[in-house]
C-alpha cells in the first residue's frame, strides 16, 4: 500500500482528465453512454477521495500521501538559482477534507446533470476539466502547479456558468 499511497493523489487528479478524454472520443449521439462513463469516472474518483480522507493520520499531522516529480530544472543566471519547478502533491489536515468534499460534490454533480439535454458531451468534458483543476489545487504543494491547476479550473468554470449556468426564462 505504500506505493499506492504515494500515487493516489496523482490518480485522483488524472482520473477526471482521462474521463474527459474518453468522453471526447465518443460520438455526441451516445448521450446515455456518455452519462454512464461520466458516472463511472465520478464514482471512482469519489471512492479514491474517501480512501485519502479515511487513511489520513491525524496524530503525526503534516503532509501525507506526498510525492514529488522533478519537472523543470533549468540552471542559469536566475536570481534565486535554478527554477526548480516540480510537481509536488500532498495533503494536510485541511486539504484532506476539501478533497473529500470535492469528490462528493463532483459525483453528486454528475448524477444531477443527467437531465441536461443540450450539449451533454461538452458539459461533461468541461466539468471533468474543472474537477482536474480543483483536485490539483487542493493537492498541489508547489506554487507553480498550484497556479497551473487554478488556471486550469477557471476557463471550464467560466464556460459552464456562461452556457449552462442560467436560463433565459425566469419563473416565480
Q: In the chain, what are the domain boundaries? A: 2-74+85-164
Q: Residue 62: helix, strand or coil by DSSP?
A: coil
pTM for the complete prediction? 0.84
Model pLDDT for residues 52-77, shown as the tens digit of each residue: 899 888 777 778 887 777 766 655 55
Model pLDDT for residues 69-104, shown as the tens digit of each residue: 776 665 555 555 566 677 888 898 889 899 999 999
| Residues listed for the chain | 172
Mean pLDDT of the chain, nearest integer:
84
Question: How many Å apart are CA 55 and CA 113, to the nearest integer?
Answer: 30
Model pLDDT for residues 144-172, shown as the tens digit of each residue: 889 999 999 999 999 888 887 776 655 55
Amino acid at each position: 500500500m505504500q506505493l499506492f499511497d504515494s500515487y493516489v493523489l496523482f490518480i485522483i487528479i488524472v482520473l477526471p482528465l482521462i474521463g474527459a478524454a474518453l468522453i471526447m472520443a465518443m460520438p455526441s449521439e451516445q448521450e446515455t453512454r456518455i452519462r454512464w462513463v461520466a458516472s463511472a469516472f465520478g464514482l471512482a474518483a469519489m471512492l479514491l477521495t474517501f480512501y485519502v480522507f479515511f487513511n489520513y493520520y491525524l496524530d503525526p499531522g503534516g503532509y501525507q500521501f506526498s510525492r514529488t516529480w522533478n519537472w523543470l530544472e533549468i540552471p542559469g543566471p536566475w536570481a534565486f538559482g535554478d527554477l526548480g519547478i516540480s510537481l509536488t502533491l500532498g495533503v494536510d489536515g485541511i486539504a484532506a477534507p476539501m478533497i473529500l468534499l470535492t469528490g462528493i460534490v463532483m459525483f453528486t454533480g454528475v448524477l444531477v446533470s443527467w437531465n441536461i439535454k443540450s450539449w451533454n458531451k461538452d458539459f461533461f468534458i468541461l466539468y471533468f476539466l474543472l474537477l482536474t483543476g480543483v483536485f490539483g489545487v487542493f493537492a498541489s504543494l508547489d506554487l507553480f502547479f498550484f497556479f497551473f491547476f487554478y488556471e486550469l479550473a477557471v476557463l471550464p468554470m467560466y464556460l459552464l456558468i456562461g452556457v449552462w449556468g442560467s436560463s433565459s426564462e425566469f419563473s416565480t
